[in-house]
Amino acid sequence: MGRYDDYKRRVLQVSQRLSADGYFGSKSGSAGNVSMLVENEDAVVVTPTRLQYDVMTFDDICVVDFDLARIEGDRKPSIETPMHVAAYKVRADVSAVIHTHQTFASALSILNQPIPPLFDEVTLAIGNTIDVVPYALSGSRELHDNVARKLANRCHCYILQNHGTLCVGTDLDKTFTFVELLEKSAHIYMDALSTGKPITVLPEKTVAQLHAAVIARQDREIARRREPSH
């Protein structure tokens, strides 16, 4: 078995599930991308560019280094690979990145509307806000730079203005859940906004406590990775 086989299998599985669940905007399309960081190596296992998920196979998944040099695979990696690499570089707690075009979060992306802390189970999972990353063209250096700057808030979900979303996590399963929690929050928030009635958010003190727990979890992951045995 190859060194990257498990990673490739997971990236393919999760990408196809996200596509089948409609998180990439169209179930028959190729939008969005998914990656995992290889443990103890500056290498990324990532979906290829412009290939429909329903025909994607294990051999189509790319492995590249942080400079995008090919390690395994014949296809070109996603054009957003530098955005994924930027996330791995600026966030030592992150080992998986998912970029989607999911519907309700995309609606908020064109309203340039962050999602405030609304539910404690969501805030405990993804942090105190779902912020909007300013618009820049897909695949551009400017987009990657904008994302890198925003990731300093140490949350796990972001809305990309007039584009889609970005979720980051310690592993791919958790990151998949963040995608779901983001869509749940966006859907409920949009519905609530459409009533025109005032919206209540979580109390500030509660948000501070929950966000501190998110940061503590990230710090534990960073410490785990720095252990010599790791």
157 makes contact with ligand 13P (CB under 6 A) = no
Q: Which of 27, 50, 141, 149 binds ligand 13P (CB under 6 A)?
A: 50
Tokens of 72: 């395994």
Q: Which of 15, 32, 63, 181 binds ligand 13P (CB under 6 A)?
A: 32
Tokens of 129: 């806000």
Q: Kindly give the residue spans of alpha helices, DSSP state H, lying in the chain.
A: 5-20, 81-90, 103-111, 120-126, 141-150, 172-194, 204-226
Cβ proximity to ligand 13P: between 100 and 128 the closer is: 100
183 makes contact with ligand 13P (CB under 6 A) = no
- Residue 163's CB is within 10 A of a number of other CB atoms, namely 19
Q: How many CA atoms lie within 13 A of 103 on its CB side?
A: 10
79 makes contact with ligand 13P (CB under 6 A) = yes
138 makes contact with ligand 13P (CB under 6 A) = yes
DSSP per residue, 89-143: HH-TT--EEEEE--HHHHHHHHHT-PBP---HHHHHHH-S-BEEEPP--TT-HHH
30 makes contact with ligand 13P (CB under 6 A) = yes
Catalytic residue chosen out of the listed positions 39, 41, 72, 80:
80
Min dist CB 19 to ligand 13P, Å, is 12
Of the candidate spans 25-33, 107-115, 179-187, 207-215, the one that interacts with ligand 13P by CB under 6 A turns out to be 25-33
Min dist CB 49 to ligand 13P, Å, is 3
Torsion of CA 163, 128, 40, 53, to 10 degrees: -30
Q: Is 80 considered catalytic here?
A: yes
Closest CA to 179 of 34, 58, 8: 34
Cβ proximity to ligand 13P: between 32 and 169 the closer is: 32
Binding site for ligand 13P (CB under 6 A): 30-33, 47, 49-50, 78-80, 99, 138
